[in-house]
Structure 1
């Protein structure tokens, strides 16, 4: 530790004691940070921050502030990861933000992560398909929508998106309808 420890000891007398830390020394603070009490308290704070970021992301999205929403979802993903959780919905939401911003590559990247986290979730396949449509990768879009329909055959939105992807594929220079 050497030099860093020396700096901490120099600055330590200028700090104010925290009530939860009974032994207000450098060693006492380190012990407290390693304690279960600190870890539980920190976890509660992080969970509250995560919930707040989700709300802020949804609110920003509703106001069509897609960059802000993507930022809040990014922060939420980071906190969820620190809590040992990967929330596919957060990646899906961020994918939708990028779709609305017209950034197909980023939307696809986020959708693929959501799909890998929850392979049984039709919405993740819908996001992959929507991103592929934006990128004009109609064959991949058709496949993603079809995979989603296998999980949820009654999903009207997915059926309509699949139909649209098939139409675009037929009309594209590389589709079935081309010579």
Structure 2
């Protein structure tokens, strides 16, 4: 909350007092928040406290990319030494990152480019998923989400990829974001229920799957998982 309110002094006191500086799941990463708000002193304090600059946000962006877009060159320079190279950045340097992000922003202003690129990435992701190559499928869906942060279907697809790869926390994060975008979409609640099941939170699964059944009472897939949750709750 301190970072969201850009209260750096409060954030620093909390960090000094032992607050967790690690990512609290895919939906919240303190370093991402500091980078996208250009909070230079907070970034420095977080890094010194051991925050990991190589954790992606839910849309596949690293803190250094957000710093290049929203912060200052100083923020990028601070994050650079501890950030692993990004494969899509041709020249791995501070200037290279800044140029790469500026180019991405320019491309996103071109509607034709965005539509073509997004369609290609989704197709590649779907093809990888069919081959059960869930890692590459998740990478393609992540790149596609950079084109459109508000595509609930992409989040749903990636949530399933995380689940197939055994990462319940990330599956939960994407499903939760999906529900925020489409609260009346049964599949979003089903994805969340499946993530809860994987994490053995059967009460949470029951609640999510109940909502999914309310929205789509004809779904045999949802009904099957709902009864599994019911049995495991007892």
Match of 1:56 among 112, 121, 124: 124
Q: Does 1:153 align with 2:217?
A: yes
Give SS of 2:148's match: helix
Shift of 1:80: 1.2
Identify the residue that residue 142 of structure 2 maps to in structure 1.
Answer: 74
2:175 corresponds to which of 111, 124, 127: 111
Q: How far apart, CA to CA, are the structure 2 residues paired with 1:97 and 1:39?
A: 27
Gaps of 5+ in 2: 1-105
Q: Deviations over 1:38-65 (max 9, x none)?
A: 9898210111000000000000011111
Instruction: Give TM-score, length-normalised by structure 2.
Output: 0.53
Q: Is the CA contact 2:162–2:170 (under 8 Å) kept in the aligned structure 1?
A: yes
> Cα distance, 1:156 vs. partner?
1.1
Aligned residue for 1:25? none
* Match in the other structure for 1:134: 198
In the alignment, which residue of structure 2 is the partner of 1:47? 115
Displacement after TM superposition at 1:148 (Å): 0.6
SS in 1 for 2:132: coil
Per the normalisation by structure 1, the TM-score is 0.69
CA deviation profile, 1:78-102 (whole Å, cap 9, x unmatched):
1113xxxx11000000000000001
Deviations 1:112-170 (A, max 9, x none): 01111111110000000000000000000000000011111111111111000011111
1:50 and 1:91 mapped to 2: Cα distance?
A: 14
CA contact (8 A) 2:196 2:204 kept: yes
**For 1:107 and 1:40, how far apart are their aligned partners in 2?**
27
Which structure has the larger Rg? 1
Task: Count the aligned residue pairs.
Answer: 129
d(CA) in 2 for partners of 1:89 and 1:40? 20
Structure 1 stretches of 4+ with a deviation exceeding 6 A read 38-41
More helix per residue: 1
Does 1:101 find its partner at 2:165?
A: yes
RMSD over aligned CA atoms reads 1.6
